A and B are shown apart, each in its own frame.
Chain A
Amino acid sequence: MMSVALKMLVGDKLKYIGLVAGIAFAAMLVVQQAGILVGLAQQTGSFIRDTSQADLWVMESQVRFSQDVLPISDGTLLRTRGIEGVDWAVPMYQGFLKARLEDGTRATMILIGLDDATLMGGPPEMVSGRLADLRTDKAVLIDHDARDTKLKLKRSPRPEGEPAGLRVGDSFAINDVEVRVAGEYRASKSFFWEPVVYTTYSRALQIAPRERKLMTYLMVKVKDGHDKREVAERIRAATGLEARTSDEFIRITADYILTETGILVNFALAVGLGFLVGTLVSGQMLYNFTLDNLRYYGTLKAMGASNLRLVGMVLVQAVVVACIGYGIGLGAGSLLGKVVGDAGLAFSMPWQVPVGGFVAITLCCVIAGLISVIRVLQLEPAVVFRS
């Protein structure tokens, strides 16, 4: 009888295509919006993920996300180094500073100062130059992907036809202190807009405006055989500061950004609406599809098909259109996501997105099927003799 159910479904081409298209559209919206949301959420943690050498990040306890600059006192460094289970601890400076390019172009940048001795916490990949070049005079590293966009000069002094962006060897000023581009790095795409510029910790202090406390983070490596959480607890007790694992830091950053910026609400709304509209439309179509076939269900019922059989038939139809529609929608959504992603926008699709979307869409179709099945169950087989 299931083959009969399938033939009923695909036999009416127009309705079948409409059904599948409705579900595909809903699936596409859901997958695509969810993909963008996940992509954005992941991008909020790019900096922490790229800075992977440390096990723990020690920070002011009120820090809410990775670019929330709340300095801690320098004394923390020595105190932390003395704590049991700490392999090494290095300082990191982070600050939002104004830069002025050669032609007077203004830009805000995030300046990161790395421990002079170890240069620990540097960018994940160098495109030109080496990390050690930071030790040369006035050296900074700039983001390769930002050099011709966020770091572009409005009136380039270079001759026509040559790049208008910053290049290795170029000088510019951060907070009126002259620096020189010593290399270019490449990092993961970040949620935060400002270009990140790396330099050494000591040079960062020279550049940064005077403040009583300037250290932003302490990056801590935990000795082998020690539990990260226990060491973090000890640091907390000894310093009164917060110590977070990278994963925790990534999570609070994502939580904060997504909720505080309204991104989560907006995307949840978009996903929800896409889902609602799509499933209402396809649910309604599925419902109508069953009603249109009520006469035939009545005939089958009169001829001795049990209610269970008929429910099975309707559910098979629901699940089949859900699967096909979802498959097409997933394909279209991924394709669209890839286009969006290639254009440099956030898009990411871990397995949870397609699986969650599939479960949700199928559930909706099954529910719509079950609602329509009530009409089949209530059907008096005697209707078959009415014209």
Chain B
Amino acid sequence: MSATATMQAGMGTATRRGETAVHCKGVTKHYGEGTSKVWALRGIDLEIGAGELTMLVGPSGCGKTTLISVVAGILDRDDGECTVFGRDFTRMSASEKTRFRGENVGFVFQQFNLLPTLTAAENVAVPLMILGKGRSAAVKQGAEMLEKVGLKDKLKSLPSQLSGGQQQRVAIARALVHEPKLIVCDEPTSALDHDTGHVIMRMLKNVALNESRSLVIVTHDARIFEFADKIAKMDDGRIKEVSNGVAEVARRNGGGGGGGAGH
């Protein structure tokens, strides 16, 4: 079975703008047991629409990473409801979950997590190979994707030969190459300087976002709030407030927040 056929037939997740991409209600998650028990999520209610760029913000340790891990299907929640494009991870077998992730989720990491011994094009090709595409076809498609993120001349470079911003662009290409419906990013700009961070965000917004795809970005970086459609503020395992991104930037600029948004 070809990769694309699998993607369409496999999970049936065709979406349109305005549809619900992620729906969470009362999601809880804890780590450890006994005295070392920590509640990372204490009842998360969150709706993310298709075609939206949602940012998760909040103090360190408030549960942002835990939440996107649950949403991306790499961590099991304790309780509550959570569906991603109508599908519930707790109702899937381990292998179904793995396949769902391979077909529908793209990841961007703070530390890029590129395989150091693979070239840029090969790194981008990995999700396609995971879905069963042959190596040369996958690398070719990876190269095309790299062109879209402006790295046409770096196809054969190893990650160590690229700057941080270039590596993150490779990582974004990798997150997009198999056309997933959901892209989760944990602090994608925090390892980068301000200008590079903006380039990365513009790229995510322009290249990654389309009407059927949702982006969830965890960030501390107030400088990139302007890119958000929706900002969910978290504190101590709960969502405190969901605001509109533009409103947030205006509030920060006008209301004396001094958060250093804008450029």
Which A residues are within 8 Å of any B CB, using their own CB? Answer: 1, 3-4, 7-8, 10-12, 295-296, 299-307, 309, 380-382, 384-387
Residues of A within 8 A of B98 (CB): 301, 304-307
Partner of A387, one of B102, B110, B116, B135: B110
Known A-B contacts: A1-B129, A304-B103. Give 4 more (CB < 8 A).
A303-B105, A304-B100, A305-B102, A385-B69
- In the bound complex, CA of A4 to CA of B105 (Å): 21
Task: Contact check, B127 vs A4: say whether CB atoms are below 8 A apart.
Answer: no
Q: Which residues of B contact A10 (CB under 8 A)?
A: 117
Alpha-carbon distance A25/B193, docked complex (angstroms): 48
Residue of B nearest to A386 (CB): B65
Across the interface, which residues of A come within 8 angstroms of B110, CB to CB?
A: 385, 387
Whether A4 contacts B129 by the Cβ 8 Å rule is yes
Smallest beta-carbon distance B173→chain A, Å:
13
Partner of B118, one of A4, A304, A306, A309: A4
Q: Which residue of B lies closest to A293 (CB)?
A: B115
Report the count of interface residues on B (CB-CB < 8 A): 31
Q: Does B126 contact A (CB under 8 A)?
A: yes
CA distance A2 to B239 in the complex (A): 43
B186 interface hit (Cβ, 8 Å): yes
CB proximity of A291 to chain B, nearest CB, Å:
15
Question: How many Å lie between the Cα of A254 and that of B251 in the bound state?
Answer: 94
The answer to whether A4 touches B122 (Cβ under 8 A) is yes
B109 at the interface (CB under 8 A from A): yes
Contact surface of B with A, Cβ cutoff 8 Å: 65, 68-69, 72, 74-75, 95, 98-103, 105, 107, 109-111, 113, 115-118, 122, 126-127, 129-131, 135, 186
Which residues of A lie under 8 Å from residue B127 when comparing CB positions? 303-304
Given the known interface contacts A7-B122, A302-B72, A304-B101, the answer about A384 and B130 at a Cβ–Cβ threshold of 8 Å is no
Q: Which of A8, A301, A309 contacts B117 (CB 8 A)?
A: A8
Whether the pair A387, B95 counts as a contact (CB closer than 8 A) is no
Top-3 shortest CB links A-B:
A304-B102, A11-B117, A381-B74
Chain A, residue nearest B125 (CB) = A4
Closest chain A residue to B123, Cβ basis: A4
Residues of chain B with a CB closer than 8 A to A7's CB = 115, 117-118, 122
Contacts of A386 in B (CB 8 A): 65
B99 and A384 form a contact (CB under 8 A) = no
Q: Which of A3, A7, A12, A386 has the most CB of B within 10 A?
A: A3
Q: Is the CB of A304 within 8 A of B131?
A: yes
Cβ contact of A3, chosen from B100, B102, B135, cutoff 8 A:
B135
A302 CA to B110 CA, complexed, in Å: 15
Question: Which of A11, A309, A382 is within 8 Å of B130, CB to CB?
Answer: A309
Tell me how far the C-beta of B120 lies from the nearest C-beta in chain A, rounded to whole angstroms.
Answer: 13
Chain B nearest CB from A19 CB (Å) reads 14
Contact indicator A382/B116 (Cβ below 8 Å): no
Given the known interface contacts A4-B118, A11-B117, A11-B118, the answer about A382 and B109 at a Cβ–Cβ threshold of 8 Å is no
- Chain B positions within 8 Å of A4 at CB level: 115, 118, 122, 126, 129
